[in-house]
Amino acid sequence: MTLALILIAVLMLGSAATAMLLRNLIHSALLLILSWAGVAAFYLWAGAEFVAFAQVLVYVGAISMVVLFAVLLTRQNRIVDVLIEPATKARALAGLFVGAGMAALLSVAVCYTKFPALADAAPQTSVKEIGLVLMRQHGGALLIVGVILTVALLGATILAATEAKRQPEDKP
């Protein structure tokens, strides 16, 4: 079991690291997707079936498309490789600072969180129970997430629709 975890971790971190090092944006995006798939594999390893499938459906299925479309639609020049280097020292420092801050915050959060179920065996939950918990105890949070996503969708539609009005399609 530990061997599988190590393999998954190497896959996840390795593909993420390679994604940052590559110059080809599409290759980077695809490797990033591989890394997300690794996260799903980790959830499967941990026995969280539902979260794993949801991860694949949302990240590999949907967010990957957003990333790839964004890369393809925003690239104006024909050159395949882009130079990725910080323009100024200040920017590089800012990036380093933000990254270090984020890492510190996350490690503090991980170190100081108490895991009450650590000693117990992993609880056997069915998808139905997860659904009931989501809908009853966390119904409010679910609604808020839904509203935020709807607003984002409407915003995107408005942004896309306000460009010059297209010719009405030719009648057959």
Partner 1 sequence: MSAVPFLERAPIELRDWFVQLLPGPLQWLTHHLITVVAILAVFGLFFAFTTVAERKLLGRLQNRLGPNRAGVPKFSILPWHLRHKLWGLTQPFADAVKALTKEDIVPTAADKVLHFLAPVIIVGFSLMGFAVLPFGRLLIPVELDAALLYFFAAGAATELAIFMAGWSSHNKYSLLAAMRALAQLISYELPLILSVVPIILVTGTLSTSAIVHAQGFWTFGLLPHWFVFTPWGAAGFVIFLVAALAESNRSPFDLPEAESELIAGHLTEYSGFKYALFFMAEYFGLTALSGLGVTLFLGGWQAPCAFLEFIPSYLWFMGKLVGMIMFFIWVRGTLLRLRIDQLTRLSWKFLVPLALLNLGNAAFWVLSAHWAGPLQLVRWAVSLAVIVIPFVVMGRSITTGYGPRSYRYAP
Site for partner 1 in 34-53 (CB under 8 A): 49-50, 53
Instruction: Convert 39-59 to b/e letters by CB count within 10 Å (16 or more is b).
Output: bbbbbbeeebeebbeebbeeb
Site for partner 1 in 82-111 (CB under 8 A): none
Write the CB contacts of 143 (distance below 8 Å, at least 6 apart in sequence).
none
Q: Which of 128, 158, 162, 164 binds partner 1 (CB under 8 A)?
A: 128
Q: Is 134 in the site for partner 1 (CB under 8 A)?
A: no
- As measured in angstroms, the least distance from the Cβ of 33 to partner 1 is 7
Helices (H), 46-166: 49-55, 64-74, 89-112, 127-136, 139-161
Q: Which of 10, 20, 23, 61 binds partner 1 (CB under 8 A)?
A: 61
28 and 75 Cβ atoms separated by less than 8 Å: no
Chain residues that interact with partner 1, rule: CB under 8 A: 26, 30, 33, 49-50, 53-54, 56-57, 60-62, 64-65, 68-69, 72, 126-128, 169, 171-172
